[in-house]
Amino acid sequence: MRTSLTFAGVSKSFPSPRGRMVVLDGLSLEVDAGGWTSLVGPSGCGKTTLAKIAAGILTADAGQVLVGGMGVERSRTVAYMPQHDTLLPWRSALENAILSADVDGRSRAQARSEARQLFVRFGLGGFEEQRPSTLSGGMRQRVALIRTFLTRRDILVLDEPFGALDALTRAGLQQWLSKIWMELGHTVLFITHDVEEAVLLSDRVAVCSSLPGRIRTEVQVMLPRPRSRVSAEVTAYRASLLETLAAGAIS
């Protein structure tokens, strides 16, 4: 389960009242196999558009998205987690988690037993049969993450998964996700506007400019895990990335 994800000169524009709005303009980015790459940038810099292109939801106007040498549209190697948990209200938590088994035609019984193990491991034991509406925001997000893991795809594209959570829940989930990821070793493309979150979780942070989106700089975060948000190194990375972002916002 080690596959890289490559964006080569990806462009995308959308129709708008004042002609076409260019959202991505020849963006290139390499997400290393088994590594965690975060994409940070100001709101509306085309991060979500890039995530959707990676997930095969949108197609690029120009450029290529390659997954182990294949086009992403039919690769079935990318799992996508949208900004909101997007749990289906009529399915139990467990049923939500095994959605991909229904789509891929895998055995439900087996998917259920796999999901049960992950529920226990993700601290959701006992909540399997609850409806999403009865779960807290953090729990719903964990169910959505289990759903993403259970797609059995090598590459995870996570689009601001913690964006809607309060600071405490968010910090807890960051630590927890980092731990799970170290065990499972997926290739991760993580979209966020939170620089600190990016530094805490990533091997590499790519900063994108505001529209049209391009990669401004890439920074390798060479710090051992688990990382602490108050350590001097994390603070230093954070400060330098914020500076880059601020410089981009002014120009």
Partner 1 sequence: MNELRRWLTPMVLLLLVLAAVETYLRLAAVPSYIFPQPSAVFSELFRSFPGLAGHALTTVVETVAGLAIGVCAGVVLALLIVVSRTVERALYPLIIATQMVPVFAIAPLLVVWFGYGIWSKAATAALLVFFPVTVGMVDGLRSPTEDQRDLLRSLQASRRQTLRLLELPASVPALFSGLKVGVTLGVVGATIGEWIGAQRGLGFVMVQANALLRLERVFAAIVLLTAVGLLLFGLVRIIEKKVLARRG
Q: Is 79 exposed, middle or buried (0-12, 13-18, 19+ CB in 10 A)?
A: buried
Count of residues that bind partner 1 according to CB under 8 A: 28
Tell me how far apart the alpha carbons of residues 171 and 162 are, in angstroms, rounded to a whole number.
Answer: 9
Site for partner 1 in 83-112 (CB under 8 A): 83-84, 86, 88-92, 99-100, 102-104
Q: Which is nearer to partner 1, 110 or 231 (CB)?
A: 110
Tell me how far apart the alpha carbons of residues 88 and 83 are, in angstroms, rounded to a whole number.
Answer: 14
Q: Which is nearer to partner 1, 36 or 80 (CB)?
A: 80
Q: For residue 109, what are the contacts with CB-CB under 8 A and spacing of at least 6?
A: none
Q: Which is nearer to partner 1, 104 or 243 (CB)?
A: 104
| Among residues 17, 74, 167, 224, the one that binds partner 1 under rule CB under 8 A | 74
Taking the complex as a whole, the smallest distance from the CB of residue 55 to partner 1 amounts, in Å, to 4
The DSSP code for 175 is H
Q: Which is nearer to partner 1, 8 or 57 (CB)?
A: 57
Tell me how far apart the alpha carbons of residues 221 and 202 are, in angstroms, rounded to a whole number.
Answer: 7
| Among residues 55, 173, 198, 205, the one that binds partner 1 under rule CB under 8 A | 55
Residue 57 touches partner 1, criterion: CB under 8 A: yes
Tell me how far apart the alpha carbons of residues 249 and 85 are, in angstroms, rounded to a whole number.
Answer: 30
Part in contact with partner 1 (CB under 8 A); list of ranges 54-62, 165-173, 200-208, 238-246: 54-62
Tell me how far apart the alpha carbons of residues 143 and 149 are, in angstroms, rounded to a whole number.
Answer: 10
Kindly tell me the sign of the dihedral angle through the C-alpha atoms of 205, 208, 214, 217.
negative
Residue 161 touches partner 1, criterion: CB under 8 A: no
Residue 212 touches partner 1, criterion: CB under 8 A: no
Alpha helices in 15-161 (DSSP H): 47-54, 93-97, 99-104, 108-121, 137-149
Q: Which is nearer to partner 1, 58 or 180 (CB)?
A: 58
Q: Which is nearer to partner 1, 86 or 235 (CB)?
A: 86
Binding footprint of partner 1 on the chain (CB under 8 A): 52, 55-57, 74, 76, 78-80, 82-84, 86, 88-92, 99-100, 102-104, 131-134, 151
